[in-house]
Amino acid sequence: MACIQPDGTLSRSGEIILLALHSPGTPEEVARETRIDLFMVRGAMREFMQARYVEKEKHLFRLTPKGLAALEGVDDKNRQGETA
């Protein structure tokens, strides 16, 4: 359940966690919103930070331009799913 897969695409849980960061939040807030285990969210934040998809400012995590770009593809995919 790593968030960034070897081919560079996001796993489903990675998408959900990154989408939750459309507004900056703490891992606890993201875990509550997504109902994903807190330890999993913390691990995901570390992975996204290393990949520079998110950055930490004080205690809040926020998307970087690279993270936003990754989500553009996800949003497109979700929209296609809705209309399919």
Q: Which residues bind other proteins (CB under 8 A)?
A: 1-3, 37-40, 42-44, 46-47
Which is closer to other proteins, CB of 46 or CB of 79? 46
Which is closer to other proteins, CB of 47 or CB of 55? 47
SS3 sequence of the chain: CCCECCCCCECHHHHHHHHHCCCCECHHHHHHHHCCCHHHHHHHHHHHHHCCCEEEECCEEEECHHHHHHHHHHHHHHHHHHHC
Smallest separation, CB 22 to other proteins (Å): 22
Smallest separation, CB 83 to other proteins (Å): 31
